[in-house]
Amino acid sequence: MITTFYLPTKIIFGPGSLARLGAEAAKLGRKAILVSGKSSLRKTGILDSVVNDLKKNGVEALVYDRIEPNPRAATVDQGARLAREAGIDLVIGIGGGSAMDAAKGIVVASSGTRPVWDYIENDIEVGGVVPKLILVPTVAASGSEANCGAVITNWQTHEKCVLNSPHVYPAVSIVDPELTLTLPAKPTAQGGVDIFCHLVEPYITAEEPAPLTDAILEATMRLVVEYLPRILAKPDDICARSQLSWASTIACSPFVSLGGGDGAMTLHGIEHPLSGCYDRAHGDGLAALLPAWMRYTRLVRKERFGTLGRNIFNQPDGITATGQWLQKTGMNIRLSELGIEPERIAEIADNAVKTAPWVKKHPNILDAENIAKIYRDSY
């Protein structure tokens, strides 16, 4: 098998590394749009200090703090229009995966005049002048700071899809775990489950696991399993926050397929419609579906769940151990608790097949009928 490792991103990591942002931005542009969520950065005072730091370094910042969780195409398009009209040459996304993915969407949509959904649905060529991108995660979850994907929701059609483009690799990502200290327990736990799923899904589904890929996936899963409960017990534990931030950056990056390993994130494919149809938090959707997805996959991956149990949890069975860990982190959630209507399960399963074609890579058939079975088994 031939694999390619490509990540043209300079990653500056460590507590206090946010102080590097202004100088790094000055190397890439003169006029930036600062893309963030609606309230947390203002509340923590980070937004003002970032604007001042940019100004000190000769970079003008246009603040666009309108991004909702599960970022919508319409919000991205509005930001892209603003960026185009202001003649920006740099996009800075600072926030969780929602703000970072919206920033990626603005990079693409501001280079032309087409809506961002055209680049997702019709895979049109990105032309024009493409601004540079800097990402600054404030949540350990998505790992968007180290890949070229962005998950955007079309709220008209209730489709949540992945924008993939080489233009949205960040030029620079600054991963400062201190920024995650203000994250409350719930989004911290949702993020931890998201990171765990980025790792366990390819680990279980791989047809041809590779020793190096397994080693990286296993080591990173052990970090998440150990440090998430520590953070929930002591939220200001900067050492534990730093380990979880590293795990987050690695888990959804090309690092985890170094050396081969051809797994696919098929659980993600069946979770996205829950956010697309009901605007549910990504981590909650994953936590609700993970046990049933594992039980469904055990039929064809028995020995793999054994190694998962032994190598990650020091227990004989990975499915039981994962269930206990979800309980321990307060993430043992049922689909019924997320307000998913049982009578819509077949429709949501069809949505998954349409919006996540990669579910076909699952080791046993994952068609609409079997996806519906997993939803029902999670209810």
Instruction: Write down the least CB distance from residue 310 to ligand NZQ, Å.
Output: 26
Residues 196-215 that bind ligand NZQ (CB under 6 A): none
Of the listed pieces 6-14, 84-92, 189-197, 211-219, which binds Zn ion according to CB under 5 A?
189-197
Instruction: Write down the least CB distance from residue 282 to Zn ion, Å.
Output: 6
Q: Which position among 138, 188, 213, 378 is part of the footprint of ligand NZQ (CB under 6 A)?
A: 138
d(CA 215, CA 126): 36
When asked if residue 191 is in the footprint of ligand NZQ (CB under 6 A), the reply is: yes
Cβ neighbour number for residue 271 with a 10 Å cutoff: 27
d(CA 244, CA 158): 31
d(CA 65, CA 4): 36
When asked if residue 329 is in the footprint of ligand NZQ (CB under 6 A), the reply is: no
| Residue 180 binding result from ligand NZQ, Zn ion, none, given CB thresholds of 5 to 8 Å by partner type | ligand NZQ
- The site map against Zn ion for 190-209 (x = CB under 5 A) is ----x---------------
Instruction: Write down the least CB distance from residue 326 to ligand NZQ, Å.
Output: 16
What's the half-sphere exposure (Cβ side, CA atoms, 13 Å) at 233? 7
When asked if residue 77 is in the footprint of Zn ion (CB under 5 A), the reply is: no
Residues in CB range of 163: below 8 A, 6 or more apart: 101, 104, 105, 108, 116, 119, 120, 149, 150, 151, 152
What's the half-sphere exposure (Cβ side, CA atoms, 13 Å) at 180? 37
When asked if residue 151 is in the footprint of ligand NZQ (CB under 6 A), the reply is: yes
Bridge partners (DSSP) listed for residue 37: 67
Give the helix ranges, DSSP H, for 209-344.
211-233, 238-251, 266-278, 282-298, 302-308, 318-328
d(CA 142, CA 147): 10
Q: Which position among 96, 105, 263, 276 is part of the footprint of ligand NZQ (CB under 6 A)?
A: 96
When asked if residue 33 is in the footprint of ligand NZQ (CB under 6 A), the reply is: no
**Interface residues with Zn ion (CB under 5 A)?**
194
**Interface residues with ligand NZQ (CB under 6 A)?**
37-41, 44, 69-70, 95-99, 101, 138-139, 141-144, 147, 149-151, 179-180, 182-183, 187, 190-191, 194, 252, 268, 282-283
